[in-house]
Amino acid sequence: MRFSTSSAAALVATIPFATAQTFTDCDPTKKTCDNNIGLPEDAFSSDFTSVGGNRSWTAAAYSTITYSSNGAEFGISGTKQAPTMESDFYIFFGRVDVKMRAAKGTGIVSSIVFESDDLDEIDWEFLGGDTDSVQTNFFGKGNTTSYDRMVEYPVSSPQDELHTYSVDWNSDRIEWIIDGTTVRTLTYDDALCVGGKNFPQTPMRVKLGNWCGGCDGQPKGTIEWAGGKTTFDDAPYVMYVEQVSIQNYNPADAYEWSDMSGSWESIKLIKDGSASQPSGKHGSSESSVASTATSEPTKSHGVDSVKSTGHMVSKTVPGKSYNTSAPYQTTGIKTSIVQATTRVPGAQPTGGNGIEGASPSESAAADASGVTPSTGGAAAKTVMASTALFGLLFSLLL
């Protein structure tokens, strides 16, 4: 859905913005948490059209994800469905390529989300009724005091044609890439990043999902942003993911948060029982062992192998057993789910800029900084910018 500048301004005047309905099992910037499960290899790939393609992925409770020659199918046929999966491991800087088709349907939102335990976040979002563009967005430390970070870019028929959507992420910049062409670059020192405080820089999981932003029960602003009211006359509305390729720039068995700063330099790489400093760029760590051996993390979902199991289930219905094949079995994500995210218009945000210890000048920068998109019509949509995926699962299921 596109907004003119005048209509967007009118909407802002009448609709308060939502606080983040974000969730994290443990925020390492607030208390001591278990280490993040790492990816010990520098590369991982999933071909969801092939047997064993769903290894090392866990679906959210009550999700139904089917597999076919089209890949993983995230279908929505009713208001209480929001099929979602996440990687069992975290990566720490890297490149992720997702080959997919977005779901059709007014108010239906397909999403690729990268999120950390302290709510750093990088997003791609696709509106089912928008047939020629995709939205890019980011958040740092769960700060949603402003919704001026979204920029949309043109893409040909995202619901009908396979495209590869990529994120290349290091300590200096984030690139959003469509079919090999970089469409957006965000640097650490960009004004929107408020001196780096809003720059995503901590280990992240990869999350894929499809949900209904136009369904009854959603806030008015969410429905407006999603493109309008959803009907199910043409359901199911299916997001197809064919392949995911991951390059991990800091391979490790686990990632340890050495303090509560939330800075990338504070993260330690745990490999073979030893800790080392991360690299901010592509490549291996920049220093040798930095401390004594650290114990293995508690594994909520284990990464048993990065090798194919040679078997593939036809359907995944977590909330029960998520059975890929023996011996690779994990349980569905509990309903306190994954570091969940909803950043949509609809409710009054809390005061301040959401950044602990920020100065008045930083607060002003966070609230007033804008971005000038390179495509027509996107500037008004930045007013309604949102990342929306996993938190909505809770409201849909209640």
Among the listed residues 121, 152, 242, 256, the single catalytic one is: 121
216's tokens: 């009854």
E strand residue ranges, 140-188? 151-154, 163-169, 173-178, 181-187
Contacts of 374 (CB under 8 A, 6+ apart): 151, 153
- End-to-end alpha-carbon separation of the chain, Å? 28
Asked if 121 is an active-site residue, the reply is yes
Asked if 125 is an active-site residue, the reply is yes
Among the listed residues 73, 86, 115, 125, the single catalytic one is: 125
Rounded CA-CA distance 196/199 in Å is 5
- How far is Cα of residue 237 from the mean position of the Cα atoms in its chain? 20
C-beta of residue 125 within 8 angstroms of C-beta of residue 134: yes
Rounded CA-CA distance 318/338 in Å is 14
Q: Where are the alpha helices (DSSP H) in the chain?
A: 5-14, 220-226, 360-368, 378-381, 392-397
Q: Looking at the annotation, which residues are catalytic?
A: 121, 125
